[in-house]
Amino acid sequence: MSEKSSYSVNLPQTTFPMKANSTVREVEIQKFWDEQKIYEKNLENRQANTKFVLHDGPPYLSSSKIHIGTALNKILKDIVTKYKAIKGFYAPYVPGYDSHGLPIENAVLKDVKGGRHSMSPVELRKRCKEFALSNLKGQEANFKRLGVWGDWEHPYVTLDARLEAEQIRVFGKMAAAGFLYKGLKPVSWCPNCETALAEAEVEYADHTSDSIYVKFPVSPESRAKLPEAVKNEDDVSFVIWTTTPWTLPANLGVALHPDFKYVFVKVPGHGVLVCSEALKGAVLAAASVDEASTQVLASATGKELELIECKHPFIDRKSLVINGEYVTNDTGTGCVHTAPGHGPDDFIVGAKYKLGVVSPIDGRGIYTSEAGQFANTRYDKANQPIVDHLQELGKLLAHSKLTHSYQHCWRCKKPLIYRATEQWFASVDGFRKQALQAIDQVEWLPASGRNRIFSMVEKRSDWCISRQRSWGVPIPVLYGKKTGKPLLREDVINRIADVFEREGSDAWWIHDASYFLQDGFTADDGSTEFDKEMDIMDVWFDSGVTHASVIDARPELRGTPCELYLEGSDQHRGWFQSSLLTSVAVQNRAPYKTVLTHGFVVDESGRKLSKSLGNGVEPDEVIKQYGADVLRLWVASVNYTDDIPIGKNMLAQLAEVYRKLRNTARYLLGNLNGFDPAEAVSYDELNEIDKYILHRLQEVVKQVEVDFDRYEFFKYYQVLQNFCVVDLSSFYFDIIKDRLYTSARKSVSRRSAQTVLYEVLQVLVRLLVPVTPHLAEDIWSHTPENLRGKETSVLLVDFPKVNEAYKKPELDAFWDDLISVRYVVNKALEQARASRKIGSSLEAQVVLQVEKKEVADKLLSLSDNLTGLFITSQAAISQNGAAGDNGHLADVSESGVRVLVLPAKGQKCARCWKFSEKIGHNANYADLCDSCSEAVVADS
RNA sequence: UGCAUGGUAGCUCAACUGGUAGAGCAUUCUGUUGAUAACGGAACGGUUGCAGGUUCGAUUCCUGCCUAUGCAACCA
């Protein structure tokens, strides 16, 4: 280096490192937040303010590690609560966990020899609890590492005795309101999990079934009811079609559509067959019968055939011909096999005709003795024997395999059956109208969510809340030992709740029924001895009542309704709905004011993430490579209302943006070194470009505020990024470097720039808080106290307010013109550079010819600052003629501006590197330009 | 199968009630070496999913299709 470099220049200086070193630094910062109790302090500071409560939808504790989708959800929630907090709201966040239920019980049982029947319920529950709580520890660590703040010391867990007790109390209220009943109904049943399932737990997948056509002969006693032409035929059969041969033992009827036309077809070798006219061809084809050999003897509507009796094909029992509107002519025969024990439609129509219910299958899917010769066979193993048996009896008309969509258990993925059993139901019918009204009191974001949940609630049937398992909250019902009558009294149920609150719900399995009743208790029906209901509640009930057991029960949450629920869009049929239904049932209103939903994470080509595709993204791996803030930035960068893409490419780009934000802050801090806000330049004295940036800054604040308020974080991301890159880094920062580095340290022009940098820093660090809190805190911790005030954590400061005094919309128009001129100048300079005429732009002078006078005037008004705008050594505006046309290095015309690039005049100043004709006037500094020598003198 | 929502540069997003498609990132070239594992400049890149229609003019409105995702149904 030459001696010239010894001239003092005011270079940036800061302790804020360029590299994030996130794996270490983020953890340090999180420790600082922990130790300083930042979350608690925030709440304390905001205690008197308006509340904004986001109620956490509890993640399920079946795994100790969170998925990327769970991370996304938690980060979104955290962005919201942090934003609301710095906006001044009282915004507590209590994390929750969903701890009961089948998947956990199954996971625990997987390692138990002998299965669920080999240990007592209390022992099993103990193991489930241990399993759930150990997973909680893992998930909690994952969540904290994301930088999520909240009351981690006191999360809510559905297995907590107090929550269980509140849940029981809600059950009691619903019982008192008459919304709970016990009924025999076919429900979706998983023979593998041995329990009933709710609608929300059913999913559809392809399944191959036996497709059979079966003859149901008309009883001799009913022949009189047949049409005249076939009265004397001795072999008349209704033909049904089914894909579930195993339900035939439960058959009690044959359903016809009342308005369809049915035909009586004489078929060689099969007697007379009855099917709908529309399906005759298909039926005969299935039976491989040549239609030409057949003869239609008669026809009748379904209505006319109602109440004819048939014989069950292989059981000595009647099967009644009935009418049902649900019968279609799409497939089958138009005659529908009806087994009220195995189908919802069948059940309803069966009740109408008083067919009764036969459901000869136990909880494991095995035929009971009611099934006669098929007893002790598992239902799915019975298909073939039944088909064979029908064949032997000559009742089988056709048989083939059919692959179709069929209901499966969403937990164990095995096929489900419909099975009529005694279950507890919440009567949605009882409060459907109120629920639908409540839906319209809620703001749904995006708005399509409203229709989604509305139509679901509108159509859903009663909610089956019984589960025949051990890991859950018991259904708190006692039955009179002799009468079998359920005791649905709220006072009794509340007494049970009190016991649970003291002892936990294990008490239900430990104590006799009498323990839960007052001594000498006598029920209305005279019962004094009781049995306990041994079913537990659907887990959706657990999480569904947290509006009561958490929001209303914890004083710091200040009661329902809360401001926001924020979950994946699948929760319209899950938690949003279970919460709504229970809340409407006991309070006649929704528990939330706004429901915000997000989509699902997919890979960069839009495919679902799955282990088999190998396109999964693990949150902890992203954090290890890039840090939590980059993952959070990802969440903020995408429009999460649709599918949310993630992948290596995206993360790498996000890491770039993170670095840009970081370096922007580093520039601010570095150039504010030694600045004291007391030295700030008054607004009127500011340089024009400085005023412009202050104005832009206000626009950014306003825009960001709008974007956050609308939960449109991806817009915030774009605005922030554009501001940092376009307005600051490539424009303002580049231009003011000259002033910052070479003007006298305390000169007005330097302080003018610093005044703006100071304002920008104040705003920027605050705007970073919700999305990249670690970065914001890191900046804060490296900001001198005289610049940031006494507050030790940036999480405790307030969101910036738009400073009206800085808003000057006219500056936009002014600078838009100058900036487009600057583009042309840059092109010209680049041309000169490409032809190796110049390197640095300071080696050039530019001469501009400007068509529009107003633009020329704007340029002229900048006077000395014009060179700063272009970062050249000289710049001149020539309105008429082509001054300096000779010897130019480049000549570019565009958008009304002609730019000539010429070699800079004079010599290069050793300090500011600009070329000048005023060099060496101060003998002490022979190689410095005038302004530099003045600056050096001033600073020495 | 029906309903809903989306389909704009390699990637993430723009374009107010129809008016010549814009940013950033990435890529390539390049300058600087006083934000330096940083910063600047330029270039490349789109018949806005496809096909029609309305209009002087459509990414924007209408119809159909394709495609992605979600939901419902596909029961017997």
DSSP A734-785: HHHHHHHHHS-TT-HHHHHHHHHHHHHHHHHHHHHTTT-HHHHHHHHHTS-H
Here the tokens at position A759 are 């304002």
Positions 919-938 of A with beta carbon below 7 A from strand B are none
pLDDT at A420: 85
Residue A633 pLDDT grade (very low, low, confident, very high; cuts 50, 70, 90) = very high
Would A419 be classed as within a structural domain? no
Q: How many CB atoms lie within 10 A of CB A648?
A: 12
Q: Is the CB of A714 under 7 A from strand B?
A: yes
- CATH number of the domain within which A588 lies: 3.40.50.620
pLDDT digits 0-9 by tens, A786-807: 999 999 999 999 999 999 999 9
Query: Phi-psi category of A21—alpha, beta or left, where left has phi over 0 and alpha has psi -120 to 50?
Result: left
Would A443 be classed as within a structural domain? no
- Please give the average per-residue pLDDT across A88-92, as a whole number: 98
**At residue A4, does pLDDT exceed 50?**
no
**At residue A3, does pLDDT exceed 60?**
no
- Higher per-residue confidence, A324 vs A139: A139
Positions 232-271 of A with beta carbon below 7 A from strand B are 240-244, 247
Backbone torsions φ then ψ of A745, nearest 5 degrees: -50, -45
**A430-446: buried (b, 16+ CB within 10 Å) or exposed (e) per residue?**
bbbeebbebbeebebbe
Average pLDDT of chain A to the nearest whole number? 90
- Shared domain check, A333 and A231: yes
Query: Residue A249 in contact with residue A367, Cβ under 8 Å?
Result: yes
Q: Is the CB of A742 under 7 A from strand B?
A: yes
pLDDT at A570: 86
Query: Residue A144 in contact with residue A774, Cβ under 8 Å?
Result: no
- Please give the average per-residue pLDDT across A925-938, as a whole number: 93
- Shared domain check, A869 and A725: no
- CATH number of the domain within which A11 lies: 1.10.730.20
Would A386 be classed as within a structural domain? yes
Separation between the CA of A423 and the C1’ of B2 (whole angstroms): 32
Residue A884 pLDDT grade (very low, low, confident, very high; cuts 50, 70, 90) = low
**At residue A885, does pLDDT exceed 70?**
no
- ipTM score of complex: 0.92
- Shared domain check, A357 and A230: yes
pLDDT digits 0-9 by tens, A595-624: 999 888 887 767 777 666 666 788 999 999
Here the tokens at position A72 are 């996304």
pLDDT at A665: 97
CA proximity to A627, closest of A662, A655, A603, A649: A655
Separation between the CA of A771 and the C1’ of B72 (whole angstroms): 37
**Nearest residue to nucleotide B72 when comparing alpha carbons to its C1'?**
A456
Q: Is the CB of A615 under 7 A from strand B?
A: no
pLDDT digits 0-9 by tens, A347-374: 878 877 878 888 888 888 888 887 778 8
Q: How many CA atoms lie within 13 A of A684 on its CB side?
A: 0
pLDDT digits 0-9 by tens, A811-861: 988 898 899 899 999 999 999 999 999 999 999 999 999 988 889 999 999
Here the tokens at position A593 are 């004011």
Residue A1 pLDDT grade (very low, low, confident, very high; cuts 50, 70, 90) = very low
Query: Residue A623 in contact with residue A579, Cβ under 8 Å?
Result: no
**At residue A879, does pLDDT exceed 70?**
no
Give the nucleotide at minimum CA-to-C1' distance from A335.
B76
Give me the helix-helix angle, A22-35 and A773-781, nearest 10°: 80
Here the tokens at position A343 are 């189908």
Separation between the CA of A483 and the C1’ of B28 (whole angstroms): 86
Separation between the CA of A649 and the C1’ of B22 (whole angstroms): 23
Strongest mean pLDDT among A28-37, A393-402, A632-641: A28-37
Positions 816-875 of A with beta carbon below 7 A from strand B are 823, 826-827, 829-830, 833-834, 839-841
C-alpha span between A169 and A511 (Å, rounded):
19
Would A344 be classed as within a structural domain? yes
Q: Where are the alpha helices (DSSP H) in A276-318?
A: 280-286, 302-305
Separation between the CA of A429 and the C1’ of B3 (whole angstroms): 24
Give the nucleotide at minimum CA-to-C1' distance from A604.
B11
Q: What percent of chain A has pLDDT over 70?
A: 97
Contacting residues for A208 by C-beta, under 8 A, at least 6 apart? A401, A402, A403
3-state secondary structure A861-898: HCHHHHHHHHCCCEEEECCCCCCCCCCCCEEEEECCEE
Give the nucleotide at minimum CA-to-C1' distance from A653.
B25
Query: Residue A599 in contact with residue A608, Cβ under 8 Å?
Result: no
pLDDT digits 0-9 by tens, A657-701: 999 999 999 999 999 999 999 999 999 999 999 999 999 999 999
Q: Which of A413, A439, A472 is the last residue of a domain?
A: A413
- Shared domain check, A733 and A854: no
C-alpha span between A508 and A485 (Å, rounded):
19
**At residue A179, does pLDDT exceed 80?**
yes
Would A563 be classed as within a structural domain? yes
CA proximity to A569, closest of A24, A6, A179, A57: A57
C-alpha span between A629 and A771 (Å, rounded):
7
Would A842 be classed as within a structural domain? yes
The CA–CA distances, whole Å, from A648 to A74, A546, A613, A645, A656 equal 21, 38, 15, 11, 13
C-alpha span between A41 and A38 (Å, rounded):
5
CA proximity to A580, closest of A554, A548, A613: A548
Nucleotides of B under 7 A from a protein CB: 4-6, 10-14, 23-26, 30-43, 68-76
**A900-937: buried (b, 16+ CB within 10 Å) or exposed (e) per residue?**
bbbbbeeebbbbbbbbbeebbeeeebebbbbbbbbbbe
- Shared domain check, A409 and A271: yes
- Shared domain check, A58 and A143: yes
- CATH number of the domain within which A221 lies: 3.90.740.10
- Shared domain check, A284 and A147: no
Would A197 be classed as within a structural domain? no
- Shared domain check, A244 and A364: yes
Give the nucleotide at minimum CA-to-C1' distance from A634.
B12
**At residue A198, does pLDDT exceed 80?**
no
The CA–CA distances, whole Å, from A115 to A110, A119, A125, A190, A416 equal 8, 8, 14, 16, 20
- CATH number of the domain within which A848 lies: 3.30.2320.20
pLDDT digits 0-9 by tens, A213-247: 898 998 888 888 888 888 888 888 898 988 888 88
How many domains does chain A contain in total?
Answer: 4
CA proximity to A660, closest of A764, A524, A549, A539: A764
- Please give the average per-residue pLDDT across A748-752, as a whole number: 96
Query: Residue A415 in contact with residue A207, Cβ under 8 Å?
Result: yes
**At residue A210, does pLDDT exceed 60?**
yes
- Shared domain check, A405 and A265: yes
Positions 101-160 of A with beta carbon below 7 A from strand B are none
Domain limits at A220?
A: 205-413
Query: Residue A44 in contact with residue A694, Cβ under 8 Å?
Result: no
Q: Reduced to 3 states, what is the DSSP secondary structure of residue A849?
A: strand
A621, β-bridge pairs? none
Query: Residue A618 in contact with residue A576, Cβ under 8 Å?
Result: no
Separation between the CA of A448 and the C1’ of B61 (whole angstroms): 22
pLDDT at A742: 96
Separation between the CA of A879 and the C1’ of B69 (whole angstroms): 59
Q: Is the CB of A450 under 7 A from strand B?
A: no
Positions 315-334 of A with beta carbon below 7 A from strand B are 326-328, 330-332
Q: Is the CB of A670 under 7 A from strand B?
A: yes
Q: Which of A635, A653, A677 is the last residue of a domain?
A: A635
**Residue A446: cis peptide before it, omega within 30 degrees of 0:** yes
**Single-letter residue type at A748:** V
**At residue A758, does pLDDT exceed 90?**
yes
**Nearest residue to nucleotide B67 when comparing alpha carbons to its C1'?**
A606
C-alpha span between A630 and A639 (Å, rounded):
16
Separation between the CA of A557 and the C1’ of B36 (whole angstroms): 51
Would A186 be classed as within a structural domain? no
Please classify residue A522 by burial: count the beta carbons closer than 10 Å to its beta carbon, then call 0-12 exposed, 13-18 middle and 19+ buried. exposed
| Summary count for chain A: helices (H), strands (E) | 30, 32
- Shared domain check, A675 and A606: no
- Shared domain check, A679 and A759: yes
pLDDT at A469: 87
- Shared domain check, A855 and A772: no
Q: Is the CB of A278 under 7 A from strand B?
A: no
- Please give the average per-residue pLDDT across A550-568, as a whole number: 95
A741, β-bridge pairs? none
Backbone torsions φ then ψ of A390, nearest 5 degrees: -60, -40
Give the nucleotide at minimum CA-to-C1' distance from A245.
B76
Q: Which of A759, A780, A807 is the last residue of a domain?
A: A807
Q: Is the CB of A895 under 7 A from strand B?
A: no
3-state secondary structure A133-161: HHHHHHHHHHHHHCCCCCCCCCCEECCCH
**At residue A463, does pLDDT exceed 70?**
yes
**At residue A2, does pLDDT exceed 50?**
no
